[in-house]
Amino acid sequence: MGGLLEALFLAQVNRLQDKGPVFKAKAAPKDPKTSKTLPLNEWTLNSYIDVGAELNWITKPTKEVGIVLRNYRNFIHPERELSTGITLVPEDARMFWSVFTQLAQQIITTAKKTP
């Protein structure tokens, strides 16, 4: 789900004729040495979520839910599951899928409105 979410944000960026606002966004990740915005292939899901919220592709509450979804993605790593003591069950995945589909719908709806 995290990978799909990242792909939707990237698709939104790639469909824009003017990508300037994406790279000029305050939330866009910067190279610490040059202070220039990183190329898209170096962005993380967190960066896409932050920039998406800044550019109003998603609402602020949706941003917060997106962060939860991003954190859920990290539990696919067995070490993370063991170190936190959190075990996810199929019902958790179904709940997060529902959250993901709503978040995805918001990005897709915004994409239809953006030239």
Tens of pLDDT, residue by residue over 80-91, are 777 888 777 889
Mean pLDDT rounded to a whole number for the chain = 88
- Which of 42, 47, 5, 4 has the alpha carbon at shortest distance from 26? 47
pTM for the structure as a whole: 0.82
Confidence of residue 23 (pLDDT cuts 50, 70, 90): very high
What is the span of the domain harbouring residue 104? 2-113
Work out how many domains the chain is built from and give that number: 1
CB 67 within 8 A of CB 46: yes
Tens of pLDDT, residue by residue over 36-62, are 999 999 999 999 999 999 999 999 998
